[in-house]
């Protein structure tokens, strides 16, 4: 039995990349970043269903890449919304599996070890996300400058963020709030505890030109 539906919001414009197309459709070795993300998810989850929330004008572009990855029969397109919140909410209306994960379209380096940790924890808890420890010092902005903070009290949050489906649907019944930047933060507003597992350092979100250089190297050396 397949427990998983993977929602991949792919409607963003990626303005920080400064490219002539949304960053998820930038090509590395002739294939868009989104292709590599879906390929990795399909490899490490067991026969998952996919829901891609994207602008209609990019759906035809993605079709040959979905065919190459063998995902046509397990992929569904829905319209991407103005905000990520709207895209995920649109996708949730089509989820029929007991578990759902939301994954950034530009994180193509998830590993089997991370997915295994998420899956085993999901068997015990209803909200699980991957995190990694910080490796650099942190400073907090103040009214007069900045002050050092203890980095061990903080972690980087990654995706896929995983939930029992009814919990996430209840969270997305809450109104949009621009201060909520990920699914876990929205679920937390229901009073639910968010459990964490160790992610993998290479599971970067490709956001800047420097990230793209690193991602190109990783893909070429896989």
CATH number of domain containing 98: 3.90.550.10
Q: Report how many domains make up the chain.
A: 1
Residue 155 maps to a domain: no
Residue 150 maps to a domain: no
Residue 135 maps to a domain: no
Q: How far is CA 209 from CA 26, 58, 94, 164, in A?
A: 11, 22, 34, 35
Percent of the chain with pLDDT over 90: 88
Of 1 and 4, the one with more pLDDT: 4
Give the pLDDT confidence score for residue 20 in this predicted structure. 79
Range with top average pLDDT, 12-26, 78-92, 120-134 = 120-134
Residue 215 maps to a domain: yes
How large is the average pLDDT for residues 157-179? Answer: 96
Mean per-residue pLDDT over the chain, rounded: 94
Beta strands in the chain (DSSP E): 4-9, 27-28, 31-32, 49-54, 75-79, 99-102, 127-133, 138-141, 146-149, 155-157, 161-164, 195-198
The tokens describing 6, both together, are 């993977």
Contact 32, 19 (CB under 8 A): no
**pLDDT surpassing 90 at residue 5:** yes
Residue 115 maps to a domain: yes
The domain of 191 spans 4-129+161-220
The tokens describing 30, both together, are 């002739």
Residue 148 maps to a domain: no
Q: Determine the Cα–Cα distance for residues 183 and 103; give it in Å rounded to an integer.
A: 10
Percent of the chain with pLDDT over 70: 96
How large is the average pLDDT for residues 123-152? Answer: 95
Residue 80 maps to a domain: yes
Q: Provide the pLDDT confidence category of residue 81 given band limits of 50, 70 and 90.
A: confident
Q: Provide the pLDDT confidence category of residue 1 given band limits of 50, 70 and 90.
A: low
Residue 203 maps to a domain: yes
**Of residues 192, 140, 204, 134, the one with CA closest to residue 162:** 192
């Amino acid at each position: 039995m397949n427990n998983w539906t993977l929602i991949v919001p792919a409607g963003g414009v990626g303005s920080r990349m400064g490219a002539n197309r949304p960053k998820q459709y930038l090509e590395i070795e002739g294939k868009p970043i989104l292709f590599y993300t879906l390929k990795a998810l399909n490899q490490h989850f067991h026969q998952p269903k996919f829901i891609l929330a994207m602008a209609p004008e990019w759906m035809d572009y993605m079709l040959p890449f979905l065919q190459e990855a063998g995902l046509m029969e397990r992929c569904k397109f829905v319209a991407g919304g103005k905000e990520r919140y709207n895209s995920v909410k649109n996708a949730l209306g089509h989820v029929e599996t007991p578990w759902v994960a939301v994954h950034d379209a530009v994180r193509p380096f998830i590993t089997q070890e991370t997915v295994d940790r998420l899956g085993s924890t999901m068997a015990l808890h209803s909200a699980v996300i991957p995190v990694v420890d910080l490796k650099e010092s942190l400073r907090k902005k103040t009214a007069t400058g900045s002050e050092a903070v203890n980095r061990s009290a903080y972690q980087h949050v990654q995706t896929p963020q995983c939930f029992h489906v009814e919990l996430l649907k209840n969270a997305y019944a809450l109104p949009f709030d621009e201060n909520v930047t990920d699914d876990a933060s929205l679920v937390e507003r229901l009073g639910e505890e968010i459990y964490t597992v160790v992610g993998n350092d290479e599971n970067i979100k490709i956001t800047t030109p420097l990230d793209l250089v690193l991602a190109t190297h990783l893909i070429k050396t896989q």
